């Protein structure tokens, strides 16, 4: 899908969920709030240039690894600055898509993750996302 076709679809879209990879690495010359500044700037530009009525419904942290300090820091920054926009499972938990081998393998088998391995942690995260989007969470 081309950038132009995506932009055309966004003209008629009311809501989006922004993906945030959990391996963001800020430049050494930038401030601690680089992630927050770049996210805010990117969202404002998209709203102004494509669709002023576009609303960001939430952020979805992806490729998260609990064994990686950088992942933990990115998630911490997101929850500190955008807590109201992280998608919640319940009052204490956010939807976070983990870095997962099964998620990486499923496209090479031509299957969506729910058919490839519905018990994988990535499958469960995307199922929670789907439930949230349709209002069951």
Token reading at 108: 């090479």
Domain boundaries, the chain: 15-22+32-99, 100-137
- The three-state secondary structure class of 86 is strand
Secondary element (H or E) of residue 16: strand 15-21
Kindly give the interhelix angle for 69-81 and 34-49, rounded to the nearest 10 degrees: 60
The average confidence (pLDDT) of the chain is: 82
Cβ burial, residue 68 (10 Å; 0-12/13-18/19+): middle
User: What is residue 35's predicted lDDT score, i.e. its pLDDT?
Assistant: 61
Residue 13's CB is within 10 A of a number of other CB atoms, namely 13
CA nearest neighbour of 87 among 13, 10, 14, 18: 18
Q: Which residue has the higher pLDDT, 43 or 120?
A: 120
Whether 102 has a pLDDT exceeding 90, the answer reads yes
Whether 12 has a pLDDT exceeding 90, the answer reads no
Residues 82-94: tens digit of each pLDDT: 888 899 988 889 9
Contact 43, 56 (CB under 8 A): yes
Mean of pLDDT values over 59-84: 90
Mean of pLDDT values over 31-40: 60
pTM score above 0.85:
no
User: What is residue 2's predicted lDDT score, i.e. its pLDDT?
Assistant: 66
Token reading at 26: 């800020």
Q: Which residue has the higher pLDDT, 42 or 68?
A: 68
For 14, 64, 94, 135, the CA distances from 88, given in Å and listed in that order, are 20, 16, 4, 11
Q: Report the DSSP beta bridge partners of residue 55.
A: 15
């Amino acid at each position: 899908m081309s950038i132009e076709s995506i932009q055309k679809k966004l003209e008629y879209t009311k809501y989006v969920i922004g993906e945030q990879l959990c391996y963001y690495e800020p430049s050494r010359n930038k401030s601690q709030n680089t992630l927050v500044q770049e996210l805010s700037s990117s969202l404002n530009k998209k709203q102004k240039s494509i669709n002023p009525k576009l609303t960001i419904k939430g952020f979805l942290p992806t490729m998260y690894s609990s064994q990686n300090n950088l992942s933990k820091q990115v998630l911490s920054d997101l929850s500190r600055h955008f807590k109201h926009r992280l998608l919640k499972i319940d009052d204490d938990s956010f939807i976070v898509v983990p870095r997962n081998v099964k998620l990486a393998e499923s496209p090479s088998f031509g299957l969506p993750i729910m058919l490839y391995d519905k018990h994988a942690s990535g499958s469960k995260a995307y199922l929670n996302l789907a439930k949230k989007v349709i209002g069951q969470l």
